[in-house]
Amino acid sequence: MRISMISAALVAALVGYGSTIALVLAAAAAVGADAGQTASWVAAICFSKAIGSALLSSWKRVPIVLAWSTPGAALIAASTGVDIHQAVGAFVFAGLLIALTAAIRPLNRAVNAIPTGVASGMLAGVLLPFAMAVALHAASEALLVLPLIAVFLLVRLFNPLLAVLAALLVGFVLAFTLGGAVLPLETASWTLLGFIMPEFDPAVLLGLGLPLYLVTMASQNLPGFAVLRANGYEPPVTEALGVTGILSAFFALFGAHTISMAAITAAICIGDDVHPDRNQRWKVGLVYSAVWVALGLSGPVIVPAILAMPPAIIAVVAGLALISPLIGAIVSAFDVPASRFAAAATFAVTASGVAAFGIGAAFWGLMAGLAVHLLDHLKRP
């Protein structure tokens, strides 16, 4: 095993974990998960990614690394009126939909028929409030927040991938000095994985489960497949969707939301510098898997420490992590002139946070965008 494989997998896993763990914790808090359920959520999703990465890489001999759905975590964090049991039901539903997409071609075609502008507009509407929260917290808690922003901007000049991780580390130091946070001492008694009974509420399945499925497919799986193709590999689309969907549905019972193909972190693991023989690069998936197992096992120590930080720091780190995905979503939403109005309708309704009949804004934004797109399509000769 080349040292370059180990270093690439280690960097990719640590960047993926450190840059968005705050967002996962914000999602858990939004659905009322307690400390044990939150720890189980993090451990379960780490193990899910580890199993899927090792299985797909060794099975298909392609360097496949998986990620948790960052836009999906943002969607969950933006939800209101949903408890952890309803959320778990939505996670199971989304995972099953991903698996069914691999098995049922009409469903695959239906998802692909949704205009990219509309799907991206929904994602941009979900992400916008998190980016806006950075400015709000900077105004209200400048002493804690402004140093994080400064570090993020400076590190970004030299290494954008490490910018959020650097901000998280600085936030950790500030939290336990200026912020007055106290490191919890009793963490060994935490259950690593705890079963959470799902509740299948139709309104939550439509308002959270369906949008979670769509943003995972559109903003994570499709770019992940594109990264593999760009590096000369033919992605095993059916197998990848089947494995990630089944694992997502199973580990949802322990709190985890969906996993998906990685894009940015995948690019770290499949370049020429990882191994000169591209037919040997699949082994990086095994190292990547081992790192995620270690991160999952360390959750009872890491998660309580992050949860002890002031909420403003967690919110700002999460917001900074979502700036790049927000830019990508906005560019994609308004890239095609013919679908710009539909994308704008989707974006506006989703970002408004409106909820009706117990169904969240992401679903109504999607419905608004599809309705406008249909009207525009009927008008065209």
Q: How many CB atoms lie within 10 A of CB 157?
A: 8
Most confidently modeled of 15-29, 59-73, 156-170, 226-240? 59-73
pLDDT digits (tens, 9 = 90+) for 287-324: 999 999 999 988 777 777 777 788 888 888 878 877 88
Q: How confident is the model at residue 338 (pLDDT cuts 50, 70, 90)?
A: confident
Structural domain harbouring 324? 3-379
pLDDT digits (tens, 9 = 90+) for 254-270: 999 999 998 767 877 88
Give me the mean pLDDT over the 144-158 stretch: 91
User: Are residues 9 and 50 in contact, defined by beta-carbon separation less than 8 angstroms?
Assistant: no
Phi–psi pair at 68, nearest 5 degrees: -80, 155
| More confident call, 108 vs 66 | 66
Give me the mean pLDDT over the 67-94 stretch: 92
What are the angstrom distances between the C-alpha of 136 and each of 145, 296, 313? 10, 32, 12
Dist CA 244 CA 267 (whole Å): 19
| More confident call, 271 vs 320 | 320
Give me the mean pLDDT over the 17-35 stretch: 88
Percent with pLDDT over 90 in the chain: 36
Residue 188 has pLDDT above 50, yes or no: no
pLDDT digits (tens, 9 = 90+) for 159-180: 887 788 888 888 888 888 876 6
Rounded (to 5) percent helix, strand, coil in the chain: 75, 0, 20
Average pLDDT in the chain: 86
Dist CA 336 CA 343 (whole Å): 9
Looking at residue 299, its pLDDT comes to: 78
Return the sign of the alpha-carbon dihedral for residues 227, 22, 19, 125. Answer: positive
User: Are residues 242 and 261 in contact, defined by beta-carbon separation less than 8 angstroms?
Assistant: no
Q: How many CB atoms lie within 10 A of CB 165?
A: 23
Q: How many domains does the chain have?
A: 1
Residue 185 has pLDDT above 70, yes or no: no
Looking at residue 180, its pLDDT comes to: 66
Q: How confident is the model at residue 366 (pLDDT cuts 50, 70, 90)?
A: confident
**pTM to 2 decimals?**
0.80
Residue 186 has pLDDT above 60, yes or no: no
